[in-house]
Amino acid sequence: MTANAAERGFRLWPRTLRARLFVILLAGLAIAHVMSFTVLFFERYMSAKSVMFNTLENDIATSIAILDRLPANERASWLNRLSRDNYGFILGPGVPGNASVDPATAELSANIQRATGPKYPVTIETIPGNRRHVQAHLTLSDGSPLTIDVYPKGVMPLADWLPYVLLAQLALLLFCSWFAMRQAVRPLVNLAAAADTLDPNRNTPRLSETGPTEVAYAATAFNAMRDRIAQYLEERVQILAAISHDLQTPITRMKLRAEMAEDFADREKLIQDLGQIESLVKEGVAYARSAHGNVEKSTRVDLASFIESLVYDYQDTGKSVSASDIDGGTVTTRPQALRRILTNLVDNALKFAGSAEIEARRLADDTVVISVLDRGPGIPDDQLGAVLKPFVRLEDSRNRETGGTGLGLAIAQQLAVSINASLTLRNRDGGGLLGELVIRPQQRGVS
C-alpha cells in the first residue's frame, strides 16, 4: 500500500527540471504571499476591532449620560438620534434572555460594562433567535429602566476591489516564476540541443556565448570542445592520407618487382596480397574522408536521371543492375556522396547476390526513399546493425574476395549521416537484403 502511494506521488511530481523548479518557486512564493496576506488581514482586523470597541464604549457612555439628563417625556425622541447600525436604546426592560454570556460576546459585554461604569449597574443577557444579540439592562437616575440592544458585527467586509488585486498578484507570481524558470533552464536546453546535434563537420551555428557569466562560460567551453573534436577529425584524415601516400609508393614498387621477377612458387600469392593491402589502405582513407562528406556543395539533381546514369555505368561493364519504379522530380543533395552510398550498396549486392535492383519513390510528405534490393543470402537479424560499423565482416574465413575490407557499408552509413539522411538494412521476404536510404524534406530542402 505504501509502495503504491509512493508510486502515485512520484507520477504526480513533474518529470522536467523546468516544471519542478517552476512548481517549487511558485509554491514558495504563493505560501509566502498567503502568509503575508493573513498577517496583514489579522492585524487590520485587530486594529479595526479595537477602534470599534473604543468607539462603542465612548458612544454608549455619552448616550447614557444624555438620556439620564433629559426629562422622561423627551427621551423617546432622542432614541433614533443616539442609535447606530450595531446598537440601539429601548426605554423599558427589553426582552428576557439568557444570563450566561458566551465567549463570542464576552469582550463586547466587558466593553459595555466599562462604558456604563459603576454609576449604572448593568445586567447583560444574550437574546436567542435568528440573529443573536446582546441586551444590557440598567436603571437611570430617576429609576426608569433602559435597555441597550447591541448586535455584534461579524467579520469585517472585504473591499470589492480586493479579489481583483489578489488575482493580479497571482498572475504576477505565475509570470515571474515562468520567466525565472525560462531564464534558468533555456541555456540547459540549448546546450542539450547543441550536444545532441554535435557534428563538427556540419556548418551548424555555434552555441551563443552571451548571457550570464556561468552560461557564457559553459557555452565557450562547449564551442572549444567542438573545435578540438573537429581538429582531431581533420588530423585523423591527414594522418591516414599521409599513411596512404607513403604506403602506396612502396606497395606499387613491390608489385612491379613481383610482376617483373622470374616465376617463383608464391609469386601470384605475393601480388594478390599486395593488391589486398593496397585496397585496404584506400578503403581506410575513404572511410576517414567520408566523415567530411559535407565539403561537397549541395546541388539539385534529377532523381530519375541520376539513378539511370548509375545503372547504365554498371550495365556497360556487364554487371546485372537494373532500375524500376523510379519516381521523377528533383532532390537537393550532395551528388558525389549520394553516388558513393548507392555504389557501395550495389557493390555489396553484386558481391553476395550477383545482381542488384534500384527503386526510388517519393512519399506523400515529399520524403525520398531509395532502395537497393538483392536476392542474396541476407544478413542475420542480430547483425544488421553491426555490419554498418567499420571493419565488420560476416565472413569467418576473412577472405577479401568475399568478405571485403568491412568498410563499404560503414562508408555508406557515414556518408548518409553527412548528407542528413538515414540508412537502414533489413532482410526481404523470400530471401535477400534491402538497403534503404531515406532523405526527408525538412533535412534536404525539397524542390
- Predicted pLDDT of residue 94: 77
Handedness of CA 192, 193, 196, 201 (dihedral sign): negative
Distance (Å, rounded) from C-alpha 156 to C-alpha 338?
A: 80
Confidence of residue 410 (pLDDT cuts 50, 70, 90): confident
Q: What is the DSSP letter of 295?
A: G
Question: Quick one: cell of 438?
Answer: 531515406
**pLDDT greater than 50 at residue 444:** no
* Percent of the chain scoring above 70 in pLDDT: 79
- Predicted pLDDT of residue 329: 82
Nearest to 409 by CA among 287, 285, 244: 287
Distance (Å, rounded) from C-alpha 169 to C-alpha 165?
A: 6
Per-residue pLDDT tens digits for 345-393: 999 999 889 999 999 998 888 889 999 999 999 888 888 888 888 767 6
Per-residue pLDDT tens digits for 109-150: 777 777 777 788 887 777 776 666 778 888 888 888 888 888
Confidence of residue 27 (pLDDT cuts 50, 70, 90): confident
Helices (H) and strands (E) in the chain, counts: 12, 11
C-alpha separations of 403 from 268, 390, 393, 424 in Å: 20, 13, 6, 20
Distance (Å, rounded) from C-alpha 415 to C-alpha 321?
A: 22
**Which of 74-88, 204-218, 265-279, 296-310 has the weakest average pLDDT?**
265-279
- pTM (two decimals): 0.49
Provide CB contacts within 8 A for 328, sequence distance 6+: 302, 303, 304
Nearest-Å Rg of the Cα atoms of the chain is: 47
Task: Give yes or no for a contact between 337 and 418, defined as CB atoms under 8 angstroms apart.
Answer: yes
C-alpha separations of 342 from 16, 22, 417 in Å: 42, 50, 14
**pLDDT greater than 80 at residue 223:** yes
- Predicted pLDDT of residue 10: 52
Q: Which amino acid is at 225?
A: M
